[in-house]
Amino acid sequence: MRKIILRVNRKFIAMFLVLSISLLLLLGILIYKRVLVINQPSESKYPVRGVDVSNYQGKIDWDKLADQNIDFAFIKATEGSKYKDKQFHANWEGVSRTKLIFGAYHFFSFDSSGITQAENYMASVPLTHGMLPPVVDIEFYGDKEKHMPDKGETVKELTLLLDKLYEHYGVKPIIYATLKSYNIYIKGKFTEYPLWIRNVYYNPQLDLSGKWTFWQYTDKAILEGYKGSERYIDMNVYAGKIEELKGLCIRME
């Protein structure tokens, strides 16, 4: 009888372990695929929220978008040395008529000179009183993650780009990065620049040697006021109070 009970117990324990592992794997897949969202920053801790947009959101009704518990917006302006976002000027004019604090970002190209990338951005984004600092978005695209660009060359061109933007706009640009691009190209090198970090799974603070200024916590938000090829919109939080965010803005005499 005792042997029978032991066999039954072993079978029960084995079934329990298999079921538990299967449920954990399923949970992990759902979180990874973002079917199950657990990454929701506390509104009491991070009350200052905003979006970032590009032509993928199509034509934006900025009055409607601004009326949905957001305080700031970053708009894609340029990419590399030649590309200009086709919705930038309409978005820039639209957001400037709202209460939102706003700025523009540039998508960094690993295949292009930092100087000509800066010139592309400066030719597109007017120096505007009250705008947020320029943003340089450095992340992998195409096969760049598989065939990783040289670290030294990337840091060199990124430095040229950042210096040129600083010279023109008078403020340190913000660096946007994924955790991987941050660890490879940014960590320990650009500590004087505000950091905008992407992590759609959990608060990135534990992964950083320094503090973040902005955190993109999801690219799967759905708001009203836009209709483009992309149904989702990126959501972000600022690490301080609204008065501190306004303190980052460019002031012109």
- The DSSP result for 101-165, as a single string, is EEEEEEE--TTS-HHHHHHHHHHHS---TTPPPPEEEE---TTTTTSPPPHHHHHHHHHHHHHHH
Choosing from 139, 163, 207, 219, which is the catalytic residue? 139
- Residue 84, amino acid: K
- Residue 45, amino acid: K
For residue 58, give the DSSP letter: B
Residue found under tokens 């660009």: 149
- Cα distances from 54 to residues 33, 117, 162, 241, in angstroms, run 23, 18, 21, 26
Q: Does 145 qualify as catalytic in the annotation?
A: no
Residue 193 burial (CB count, 10 A): 18
Alpha helices in the chain (DSSP H): 2-32, 62-66, 88-96, 114-124, 151-169, 179-181, 242-248
* Measured distance CA(194)–CA(240) in Å, rounded: 12
List the one residue out of 161, 116, 122, 119 whose CA is nearest residue 138: 161
* Measured distance CA(200)–CA(218) in Å, rounded: 5
Residue 41 burial (CB count, 10 A): 16
Choosing from 52, 79, 157, 234, which is the catalytic residue? 52
Q: Does 52 qualify as catalytic in the annotation?
A: yes
Active site residues: 52, 139
